[in-house]
Structure 1
Amino acid sequence: MDVLYFAWVRERIGIPKETVATDAATVTDLVAELSGREERYAAAFADLSALRVAVDQKLSDFDTPLKGAREVAFFPPMTGG
């Protein structure tokens, strides 16, 4: 699946997008896999309360199942302005 990173998440990880082969059942499982890769991922996912996630371009929760998902995006909360 494609994993996209936006704003400071992209800055911490160092790439905007990657294709990931995963057996993760939920977004939380995917975050655990990514965090275990190396320190830059662990830093980006250290505080999940500071992140939002979209699965297949739909705002989702971290307990959202990933079965059949093609894209997961991580980004900070958005503010109006």
Structure 2
Amino acid sequence: MSSQIQEVSSSVQQMAAGAEQMVQSMKSITEVSEHTASGAQQVSASAEEQLESMKGIAGAAQSVSQMAEQLQLEIKKFKV
């Protein structure tokens, strides 16, 4: 009977150690997931900033194009 109790006790200790390892693994996975999510948020914010910058550049390019057309019309007035 004593050997059976010792076997059960040993099995329970092994299971507890395995459970602790699982808990530590899950904590590590959680930390990695949080770090990855943070990085993804930073990438998303950068992409949004770049998109806004590109919109500004496109608007400026359109404005320059309109000014160039207007300048060409004005130059035509001076041709003889």
Q: Highest Rg: 1 or 2?
A: 2
TM-score (norm 2): 0.17
- Structure number with the higher strand fraction is 1
Q: Which has the higher contact order (CA 8 A, sep 6+)?
A: 1
| TM-score normalised per structure 1 | 0.17
**Which structure: greater helix fraction?**
2
